[in-house]
Every structure is written in C-alpha cells, then in structure tokens.
Amino acid sequence: MGMSGGGGKSRATLSEINITPLVDVMLVLLIMFMVTTPLMQQGIEVDLPKTSSSGVEVNEEPFVLVINSDQRMTIAKQKIAMNELRPKLKAIFENKKNKQVYIQADRKVDYGFVAEAMAEVRAAGIFNIGLITQPKDQ
C-alpha cells in the first residue's frame, strides 16, 4: 500500500539547510549598502562654536559678503555679480592663510540665491563659511 521507491530502500530526509544562497544574497546586500552609503551623505559642514560667547573673535578684519533684499551682492561696499564672485574670491584669498567668509543676507532674500552664493564661495576654495544673524532679543 505504501509508496516505496527503488526496491524497498527508504530515503532519508535531508535535515541540513543549504546556506550558500543565503550567503550570496547577504554579500549582494552588503555590496549594495557599501556603494550607496557614500551617496547618502549630503549637506554643508558647519563648525559650531564651542563657547557660549556672543561675539566672534578674529585676529584680522572679517571678510563679509553682503546680500541685499533685492539680491545685490557687495564686497567691501563694491557691487559684484554672481558670475564674478568666484574669480574675485579666488584672487582675494590666493595668499591668505585664514580663508573664511561671512555671509550677511537680508531676511527677504530667496533661500536658493543664498545657497547659490554659498556654492560659489565653496567653488572658490573657501570652505569655512559663516552666516551673520541678529540675536532674537533685538
């Protein structure tokens, strides 16, 4: 009545799990995470102050890029266009040790314009960028 195969010999059940496909899948996932993780890192690095002092202490006169409410930029009271910003900053900071720029933008200026100005400053080789703001109580 029972089904038996091959002349009365019974087959033993396989009790081991083949882990080769599992290892293959895990290696593929590991490689995918290793490739995509560096792509997920975005943003601008910000050096936060380590003290609670309210002012900025610098040894020399700070370099300030001012952006007016009508998106006009000035450096040392001289107007400058966006396309002139990168070469001008490269020339100014070519021989300076302290490569630091402070951006003072009007509250009404579009965020995209300020971001574009910051990108031009970074493209000029200046990675230490500060934003000038007013304290809340003023």
Please state the φ and ψ torsions of residue 92, each to the nearest 5 degrees.
-70, -45
- Among 48-52, 111-115, 131-135, which is the least confidently predicted range? 48-52
Instruction: Tell me the average pLDDT across 99-118.
Output: 89
- pLDDT tier at 119 (50, 70, 90 boundaries)? very high
- pLDDT tier at 60 (50, 70, 90 boundaries)? low
Name the packing angle between helices 82-92 and 111-123 (round to 10°): 40
Helices (H), 41-104: 82-92
Instruction: Tell me the average pLDDT across 57-66.
Output: 74
Model pTM score: 0.55
How far apart are the C-alpha atoms of 11 and 87, rounded to whole Å?
Answer: 81
Higher-confidence residue: 41 or 125? Answer: 125
Q: What is the pLDDT of residue 44?
A: 38
Q: Tell me which CATH code domain 63-131 carries.
A: 3.30.420.270
Q: What is the pLDDT of residue 76?
A: 83
What are all long-range contacts of 66-70, with beta carbons under 8 Å and residues at least 24 apart?
66/104, 66/105, 67/103, 67/104, 67/105, 67/106, 67/109, 67/113, 67/114, 67/117, 68/106, 68/109, 69/106, 69/107, 69/108, 69/109
Give the closest residue to 67 by CA, choosing from 129, 118, 125, 122: 118
CB atoms within 10 A of CB 5: 8
Instruction: Tell me the average pLDDT across 27-46.
Output: 74
Counting every residue written for the chain, the total comes to 138
How far apart are the C-alpha atoms of 57 and 43, rounded to whole Å?
Answer: 26
Helices (H), 61-134: 82-92, 111-123
